[in-house]
């Protein structure tokens, strides 16, 4: 549905200064999925998401939406195509001097939608975002979350197949963030809208995304299913993002000390396995003692995912049996050998 193919974007900021914001980036978003792009500040995320409706024009590469390369379209064709691609922003981009109704209605009017149809759509989409009672108020009478809901209703009112989200929850508090994420999920599931979002928060990826790409220095350094990135992050930056969800690390000196009595294991559980009492089971089945050092369970979009760090005391034979038991029962086991 969205295919960014070998996109490079250079900004010329001075006579001889060139910033490569995107460096040969390729990414495909399938119809109906929520695809997240995560990275630290300056990684190139905004430039990337703005490619998908050609708000940024690539220096080289193709932006293919439903089989058509936006780069090759005329201005008029591009205008038409953009009707199908909604966008929401961190700063909401509402006009302060217009009411909620007008903020949604005026862009519709500019694209030639009739007054009668505008009325229907404004009502329909304000209902969907839960703000049907705010039609006549001005943006400064709304909370941040409500403003973002209006912006979402405005984007939806053009009945797009694709929604682009440029850090849409970054200006919101955690509870409001969760409400907006739930709304995006509802829009995706009930209206079948494909979503490409960028964020610097793992929490956002975890809550609603199917797949994720991690960006650094204008490149995608890792991409895949969210659950795969959580269970087996390859790149150092991905590991940092994942560990932001599991912050409690064990000091290196303590690891060294504990390891004298038996291994320290990082246990990763996905799905039903996360709900089983695996550690107490191995303590009962084998002559070992287990001590939990840290742990957490999080809800991914469709799955539970958990991590435990445990110290296992026992002789080598019994410990090996316990590790084998865990592995054959779907737990991913990694021995912690030093710092971390
Ligand atoms: N219009 C522009 N002119 C010059 N440089 C730009 C422009 N837009 C982006 N850049 C540069 O391109 C790089 C990537 O910026 P971009 O905004 O895409 O990153 P980001 O990951 O979205 O970061 P942030 O989360 O801080 O917005 C940065 O070095 C930035 O300074």
pLDDT score at 190:
95
Same domain, 214 and 132: yes
Q: What is the mean pLDDT of the chain?
A: 92
| Mutation probe of ligand 1 site: the residue of 37, 39, 47 with most atoms within 8 A of C-beta | 47
What is the atom index within ligand 1 of the atom nearest the CA of 46?
22
For residue 184, what are the CA distances in angstroms to 47, 156, 181, 260, 273? 22, 11, 5, 49, 29
pLDDT score at 184:
97
What is the Cα–Cα distance from 311 to 55, expressed in whole angstroms?
52
Does the pLDDT value for residue 56 go beyond 70? Answer: yes
What is the Cα–Cα distance from 220 to 262, expressed in whole angstroms?
39
| Mutation probe of ligand 1 site: the residue of 18, 21, 39, 41 with most atoms within 8 A of C-beta | 21
Q: Which of 88-97, 247-256, 284-293 has the lowest average pLDDT?
A: 247-256
pLDDT range class, residue 52, cuts 50, 70, 90: very high
- Ligand 1 pocket, residue 308 CB under 6 Å: no
Same domain, 169 and 259: no
- How much is the ipTM here? 0.96
Name the residue with the closest Cα to ligand 1, atom 26. Answer: 41
Label the pairing between strands 2-12 and 18-29.
antiparallel
Same domain, 227 and 274: no
Q: Which residue did the predictor score with more confidence, 21 or 292?
A: 21
Domain end, chosen from 208, 243, 278, is at: 243
- Ligand 1 pocket, residue 47 CB under 6 Å: yes
Same domain, 220 and 274: no
Q: Which residue has the tokens 């910033």?
A: 19
Same domain, 105 and 200: yes
- Ligand 1 pocket, residue 338 CB under 6 Å: no
- Ligand 1 pocket, residue 41 CB under 6 Å: yes
Cβ(51)–Cβ(63) below 8 Å: yes
Q: How many domains does the chain have?
A: 2
Same domain, 85 and 221: yes
Q: pLDDT for 119-128, tens place per residue?
A: 999 999 999 9
Tokens describing residue 90: 């961190």
pLDDT score at 340:
47
Radius of gyration of the chain (CA): 24
Domain end, chosen from 243, 266, 281, is at: 243
Q: Give me the domain span that covers residue 314.
A: 252-336
Domain end, chosen from 221, 243, 265, is at: 243
Q: pLDDT for 302-328, tens place per residue?
A: 888 888 889 999 888 989 999 999 999
């Amino acid at each position: 549905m969205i295919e960014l193919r070998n996109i490079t974007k250079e900004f010329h900021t001075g006579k001889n200064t060139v910033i490569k914001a995107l460096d040969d980036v390729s990414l495909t978003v399938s119809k109906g999925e929520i695809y997240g792009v995560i990275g630290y500040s300056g990684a190139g995320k905004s430039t990337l998401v703005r490619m998908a409706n050609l708000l940024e024009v690539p220096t080289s590469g193709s932006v293919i939406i439903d089989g058509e390369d936006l780069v090759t379209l005329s201005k008029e064709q591009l205008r038409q195509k953009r009707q199908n691609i909604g966008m929401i922003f961190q700063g909401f981009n509402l006009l302060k001097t217009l009411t909620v109704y007008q903020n949604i209605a005026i862009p519709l009017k500019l694209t030639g939608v009739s007054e009668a149809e505008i009325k229907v759509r404004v009502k329909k989409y304000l209902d969907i975002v839960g703000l049907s009672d705010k039609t006549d108020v001005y943006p400064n009478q709304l909370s941040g979350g409500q403003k973002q809901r209006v912006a979402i209703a405005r984007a939806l009112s053009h009945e797009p197949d694709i929604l682009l989200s440029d850090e849409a929850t970054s200006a919101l508090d955690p509870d409001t963030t969760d409400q907006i994420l739930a709304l995006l999920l509802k829009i995706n599931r009930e209206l079948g809208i494909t979503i490409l979002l960028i964020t610097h928060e793992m929490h956002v990826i975890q809550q609603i995304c199917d797949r994720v790409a991690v960006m650094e220095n204008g490149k995608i350094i890792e991409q895949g299913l969210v659950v795969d990135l959580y269970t087996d992050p390859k790149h150092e930056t991905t590991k940092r993002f994942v560990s932001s969800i599991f912050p409690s690390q064990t000091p290196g000196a303590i690891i060294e000390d504990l390891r004298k009595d038996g291994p320290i294991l990082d246990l990763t559980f996905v799905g039903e396995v996360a709900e089983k009492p695996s550690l107490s089971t191995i303590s009962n089945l084998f002559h070992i003692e287990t001590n939990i050092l840290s742990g957490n369970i999080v809800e991914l979009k469709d799955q539970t995912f958990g991590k435990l760090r445990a110290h296992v005391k026992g002789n080598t034979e019994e410990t090996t049996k316990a590790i084998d038991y865990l592995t054959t029962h779907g737990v991913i086991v990694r021995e912690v050998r030093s710092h971390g």
